[in-house]
Structure 1
Amino acid sequence: MSKKKLFMAIGPLMVAICLVIVLLFSPFKWTSRPSEKAIHQSASSMSINVIKGNSLKNTAMGTGKYLPFFGSSELSRINALHPSVLAQKYQRDYEPFLLGAPGTQSLAQFLMIQSMGKELTNKQVVFIISPQWFVKEGVSDAMFSLYYSPLQTYQWVLTHKEDSEASRYTAQRLLDFSSVKSDTLLNKVLQKMADGEELSSTDIKGATFQHNLFSQEDHLFSKFAVRSKQKRIDKAEKQLPNVYNDEQLDQLAVQLGSKNTSNNPYQISNKFYDTRIAPVESSLENSQKKFNYLNSPEYADFQLVLNQMAKENIKPLFVIPPVNKKWSDYTGVSQEMLKDFSIKIKQQLTSQGFKTIADYTDQNDVDYFMEDTIHLGWRGWLALDEDLQAFLKTNPSVHYEIDNDRYLTTDWQEYHP
């Protein structure tokens, strides 16, 4: 092949690569504002690049049009009573922005919240707490790494340089994960912070360079691979009555729940049962008797979320979902343990001033409250909507008294009510 033909073949690719490198390492910040369409699509996407980035979600929060819903896999269960569907159908003055995905837990949520900073100051949010996060080992290395954001972590380093109990805990906790330790600079900086040492000017310059690099990358690529759930929302909306009516909506929830859980005795959605339960059902009987959500580093990770909310005077509605009792009776999960979990997590909340809590633990045997084993379903979403509308109308004043001396300790992580 002649040199000319070779250049014609690979020249455009080389030029594109060089252009990307120039854009990434340019001293100028590429801060073009995402379009309203891009923001709207990202609100229901739960895409990894939205969770790990800043551009789309921070811009959305700055508009005042979006209500953040922090959570995990339950947010992806789109049905007619899902918050995004109800808000669209009944033309609410907010659009839910779904901030979470299967596997996002307190640490990822903490990094997201702190990355939004002043965009959340004094604002109302929804935060769904999954009891299943609070296992003995806490969030797994694989799940944390999947949603780990170097951008948000370097941002935290640059805005939390002062030594404190919370910063030492955060730095040490982040060093537990392979995706963090593999970054030589970050590993060094976090070790200093964990030891209570002051960062050098070289450390700060290095962290600033890395933050700017990841920020450029975010601005350039955040809008790609955003898979909106808008088609599913539009389809589900057609099932709703034109006028919001509690009784009609509850009847619809029962109707949809009955129709979609017809092939099993646990009121688990047919698809979930066929794909996840039926092939291994016999082996799961009494298999979860030893499950325990009362001893976990997740309690301290969750305290970081509360720290950040208090810092920005955020007003959260905390939601505690139940576990499907029909299923837990089969697998042996202790309902007493789940009640103790509710007591423990509510103590951590209320003792520090977080008093707006929708605790559905005792709704575990309400028909069609759940969609499957652990995720809110038709009547569950409807119950949340009723609590949410009251919360938004009240917009309560808050006063927080953060107690890291207690809630960042191993004693609290192991405490049983």
Structure 2
Amino acid sequence: MKKPLFSPLILAFILLLLLVLLPNQLIESLIPKSRINQAATELNPFMFQGKYVQQKMLEDPQFLPIYGSSELARLDRFHPSNYFKETNADFTPFLIGRGGTESLIHLLNFSEHTDQLKGKKIIFVLSPQWFQPKGTDESHFVPNYSALQGYDFAFNHQIDPVIKKRAIKRLLTFSPIENDPILSTIYKAEISKNVWTKREATIVRPFAYAYRDLLEKKDLYYTLVGGIHRNRDLSPKVRDKSWGQLQAMATQFGKKRATNNPFDISNNQYNKIKKLAPSLKGKKQGASYGKSPEYKDFQLVLDVLKENGAQPLFISVPVNGKWYDFTGFTKEGRSPYYKRIKNQIEAEGFQIADFSNHEYDPYFMKDTIHIGWKGWVYTDRAIMEFYKQDHSKNQVVRN
């Protein structure tokens, strides 16, 4: 006699139901305590888009979170993750970000953790290329968007309503939110006086809570299973060195690895653009980072950090001046960004390590836009000085 074909389906359904009904506290109790340390350098998108790991990290004074984008993945012996590990610093850098992680994504992330931000020192690495004339686009926003963070933002009553409404208007211009019938309805109700819109939001809100709960459980299961295991043991050669010695070492390190081009770009990176380089000469004439919707997006980040009592240090990364000149993207198009972003940060009383005068500093950058060997040394020093500051002081880091 043949067994019913639907038996495996019933079994699968029961198993799924058990996984869904399992209490969150029980799942959390199964997550190894080592998971947070493991995640510090994994650059795992599941961690960026989740909540549990970052929440535990922010609650632990051992960790110093570093927020940024693709530059965080450019690990070498001078990178903060290696330098502070090898020099036995009192803290462990925790990397949060990947390519395309721009202001709005960071906004949702910070909003997820308002309870953990008060008095927390953080590092935030800024990239000039975020500030395109049209701002961030779908190709950068969509892969980094977190539905969990999006739904939690909808139910977050700790954020100033004025800030929240400004953010919602901007977020509704992106497809993951606009095309989500439940979330978009709740968002629109926040900024609309229309009675019917508010009634629709009331109807869908229970479904939104239920879906958010499922997303939280999914985050816990991903954390339980584990992340991307990578060997981050780079080099102990940065130990027992002065900052001057490290700069000299970084210069020699970069000099050996950037020999096939006049832009001080690493050979591997230049090989990727070598064939295109002649066609790019002078193509960026008239380009500028001086005006962009990203400034308003970034202001939302500043507002949330200030409102919740965070203590950030912003790292203002330059571009590769030689390369940008070659493409016709002149200093006249770059300088307004450096000035504007510095003024914007300092206007909120926050600190900035401004490296804009290193555009032509050999081996400060690893390629055309990403900080590299020598740049990491300057960044390490700025981070160390910032970390050692008394919380009551509000000194601007100048470099």
CA distance in 1, matches of 2:288, 2:171: 24
Residue 42 (structure 2) aligns with: 45
What residue number does 2:259 align with?
262
CA distance in 2, matches of 1:163, 1:352: 16
Cα deviation, 1:392-413, whole Å, max 9, x if unaligned, reads 11144378xxxxxxxxxxxxxx
Instruction: Give secondary structure in 2 for the equivalent of 1:36.
Output: coil
Question: Which whole-Å CA distance do the structure 1 matches of 2:317 and 2:129 have between them?
Answer: 10
How far the C-alpha of 1:74 sits from its partner, in A, is: 0.6
Answer yes or no: is the 8 Å Cα contact 1:268–1:373 preserved in 2: yes
2:293 maps to a residue whose letter is P
Q: CA deviation at 1:26?
A: 5.7
Match of 1:283 among 267, 279, 283: 279
Partner of 2:154: 157
Matches within 5 A, 1:239-318: 240-275=237-272, 277-318=273-314
Equivalent-residue separation in structure 2 for 1:265 and 1:70 (angstroms): 31
Q: Quick one: distance in 2 between partners of 1:398 and 1:145?
A: 39
Contact 1:137 1:296 in 2 (8 A): yes
Cα drift, residue 207 of structure 1: 3.0
Cα deviation per residue 1:318-375 (whole Å; 9 max; x = unaligned)? 0111111111121111212221111111221212222x11111111111110111011
Unmatched runs of 5 consecutive residues or more in structure 1: 400-417
The change in CA–CA distance for 1:77 and 1:14 in structure 2 (over 3 A counts) is farther
Match of 2:110 among 107, 110, 113: 113
* Structure 1 residue 52: Cα displacement: 0.4
1:214 matched residue in structure 2: 215
Find out whether 1:380 has 2:375 as its counterpart: yes
Compute the TM-score of the two structures, normalised by the length of structure 2.
0.90
Aligned-partner residue type, residue 51 of structure 2: N
- The total of aligned residue pairs comes to 389
The DSSP-based 3-state class of the residue aligned with 2:276 is helix
Paired residue for 2:397? Answer: none
Pairwise CA distance, 1:222: 3.3
Match of 1:148 among 126, 145, 149: 145
Where do 1:228-247 residues align within 5 Å?
228-229=229-230, 231=231, 233-234=232-233, 236-238=234-236, 240-247=237-244
Aligned to 2:32: 35
Corresponding position of 2:360: 365
Residues 319 and 32 (structure 1), Cα distance of their counterparts in 2 relative to 1, 3 Å cut: same
Contact 2:102 2:136 in 1 (8 A): yes
Task: State the Cα distance separating 1:241 from its structure 2 match.
Answer: 4.1
* C-alpha deviation, 1:101, in angstroms: 0.1
- 2: distance between equivalents of 1:280 and 1:63? 46
Structure 1 Cα separation of the partners of residues 281 and 70 of structure 2: 24
Indicate yes or no: 2:122 matched with 1:125.
Answer: yes
**Aligned partners of 1:208, 1:18: CA distance in 2, in Å?**
23
Q: Is the 8 A contact 1:126 1:318 kept in 2?
A: yes
Partner Cα separation in structure 1 for residue 121 and residue 177 of structure 2: 31
Compared CA separation, residues 84 and 162, structure 1 to 2 (3 A): closer
Selected match of 1:393 from 384, 388, 391: 388
- C-alpha contact (below 8 Å) 1:128/1:318 kept by paired residues: yes
Change in Cα spacing, 1:18 to 1:301, as seen in structure 2 (3 Å) is farther
SS of the residue 2:113 aligns to: helix
Tell me, yes or no, if the aligned pair for 2:111 and 2:159 is still in contact at 8 Å: no
Match for residue 403 of structure 1?
none
**Residue number in structure 2 paired with 1:227:** 228
Q: In structure 1, how many angstroms separate the alpha carbons of the residues matched to 2:145 and 2:286?
A: 30
Q: Which amino acid aligns with 1:296?
A: S
Q: 2 CA distance for matches of 1:112 and 1:162?
A: 13
Could you say which residue in structure 2 is the equivalent of 1:3?
Answer: 2
Q: Report the residue type matching 1:267 in the other structure.
A: D
| Whole-Å separation in 2 of the counterparts to 1:20 and 1:70 | 35
CA distance in 2, matches of 1:318, 1:88: 21
CA distance in 2 between counterparts of 1:267 and 1:397 reads 41
Alpha carbons 1:30, 1:220 under 8 Å: kept: no
Deviates more, 1:151-160 or 1:16-25: 16-25
Q: Which runs of 5+ in 2 are unaligned?
A: 395-399
Find the aligned partners of 1:162 and 1:338 in 2 and give their Cα distance: 33
Question: What displacement does 1:279 show?
Answer: 2.2
Change (3 A) 1:64 1:17: farther
> What amino acid is aligned across from residue 97 of structure 1 in structure 2?
F
Aligned residue number for residue 19 of structure 1 = 15
Q: Using a 3 Å threshold, how does the CA distance of structure 1 residues 169 and 27 change in structure 2: closer, same or farther?
A: same
Amino acid aligned to 1:250: Q
Answer whether contact 1:110 1:305 (CA < 8 A) is retained. Answer: yes
User: Distance between the aligned counterparts of 1:65 and 1:45, measured in 2?
Assistant: 17
**Counterpart residue identity of residue 246, structure 1:** W
